[in-house]
Structure 1
Amino acid sequence: MKTVLLAMVALATPALAQTPASRSVQPVTITMTDHGFVPRNIALRRGGSYVLHIANRSDKGHNLTQKAFFAAARLSREDRGVVRDGQIVLAAGERATIRFQAPLTRRGGMFQFSSTTLGDADNAYTGAFRIQ
């Protein structure tokens, strides 16, 4: 009887079969420099789990802005405060870590990001998240 009950519970709750350990969390690193983002193009698997490490190695503040991407990505609860109004803002020398699941948008989709800090537009301070 216990075996039948356990089997029924397992079938009724498929989320139990997919533990966080069974998902592969991929690291992504973006560095803000005096000349732009490094790297500029970030490939992400549709629905994949990631941990974004972002560091500002510049001598001034910058931001990474992409409202649609951050609205569509599933940010971890503890990291939602790092992204405000679709952007991550870092002062000179500051770092941030954000855990997220990539948007479930179509493969081949692209989210261009930029820094909207004064003077960055002149330096082509841009990049893109590309969904594969």
Structure 2
Amino acid sequence: MSVEAKVIERIHSILEKFDNKYMLNGRIKKSKVIEDLDRYDHNLMEALLSDKLIHDSYTEKLVNVEVFKVNQFIEMLEFKKYWEDSYTKYSNKIGLTAGGKFIDESTDVVLDFPFKDTVLKAGMSKEDLENS
């Protein structure tokens, strides 16, 4: 059994203690877990970090302070389905990325033109069509 499968197994057992808040029919409600991780929900964070395997896998000590790698933990939740039947954590998606995220998932995308004095026309009228 791989480390990832053990972590997922532990996460299941931890989240089951919260009744139906994070689990539905034996499956993790990923969006709810991720939402509460983004809000640093104390009960969820305490439950996760009290497990030694999760603590050792997703914390790092920096200047005498332990930091929980929330983004890395969320990525593991999001890509879990690819671990079960694939050798890669990446989805079957092809596209442009910036900072490790696809540009359609980012709000920091800029369409930049090298010549600022260029005028772009977004459509053609019937007159333009007749003149060309």
The TM-score with structure 1 as length reference comes to: 0.25
Query: Which is helix-richer, 1 or 2?
Result: 2
Query: Which is strand-richer, 1 or 2?
Result: 1
Higher relative contact order (CA 8 A, sep 6+): 1
The TM-score with structure 2 as length reference comes to: 0.25
